[in-house]
Amino acid sequence: MKRVLLIRGSAREGSYTNAIADRALAAQEGIEVTAFSPYEAVFAPCDGCNFCETAGRCRHDDLTDLAREFETCDVVLIASPVYNGGFPAPVKALLDRLQVYYTGFYANGKRPLIAKHRRVVLLAAAGRDGNRALRVMADQLRDACSVTNAEPVGAALCPQTDGVPAPETTCETLCELLKRSLTDEEANR
Ligand SMILES: Cc1cc2nc3c(=O)[nH]c(=O)nc-3n(C[C@H](O)[C@H](O)[C@H](O)COP(=O)(O)O)c2cc1C
């Protein structure tokens, strides 16, 4: 059984990202999904205190279960709206908390920090065309995951949700990305 960690970046009723993510995940065989909503969880944003640089861990223990899931799952799916050209603040706050791995890698010399190679898939929805935002989000994701042994492998975009979106097409793209991430042997190296 492969394990998927789903980060729900929208708390909106009728959310496209939630609907597309749920449909694409339901189409995958033999997976177990753990969902995490940064809107429901209470966690501190990283404030750059550098405690982790000397202690080797975050001074907050509010994301312990999520960290375990992140480190041991097979695929991370981040389903996120575009807000003002990038990730909504709660999702970005979550990405910033990956800083503990960065300092672990560079300041504490714990290399490699996470033994298991995982894949990261991004799903985004945008009111307008969303292409510039998707590039920003993909870059931020790559930076945040840089030393976590979690490899961003691709993104599916549902544009024009303010107008006439085509969520079915996005769902097909996402299904393909998930299928490849879950079955490709390279994902388990
Ligand atoms: C605070 C806020 C900021 C937004 N900023 C943008 C934006 O910069 N570009 C864009 O194309 N759409 C923007 N949108 C529209 C959302 O991306 C769009 O409604 C999307 O479908 C939301 O995702 P969801 O359907 O999963 O909730 C914004 C919406 C909100 C609420």
CA dihedral 11, 120, 91, 131 (to 10 degrees): -90
Task: Answer whether residue 186 shows pLDDT above 60.
Answer: no
Report the separation in Å between the CA atom of 84 and the middle of ligand 1, taken as the mean of its atom positions.
7
155 C-beta neighbours (distance < 10 Å), count:
19
pLDDT digits (tens, 9 = 90+) for 140-153: 999 999 999 999 99
Residue 13 neighbours by CB under 8 Å, 6+ apart: none
- pLDDT band per the 50, 70, 90 thresholds, residue 187: very low
What domains are defined for the chain? 2-188 (3.40.50.360)
Residue nearest to atom 31 of ligand 1 (CA): 83
Site residues for ligand 1, CB cut-off 6 Å: 10, 12, 15-18, 81-85, 125-128, 130, 133, 161
Residue nearest to atom 17 of ligand 1 (CA): 126
Within the chain, strands assigned E span: 2-8, 31-36, 75-81, 118-125, 150-158
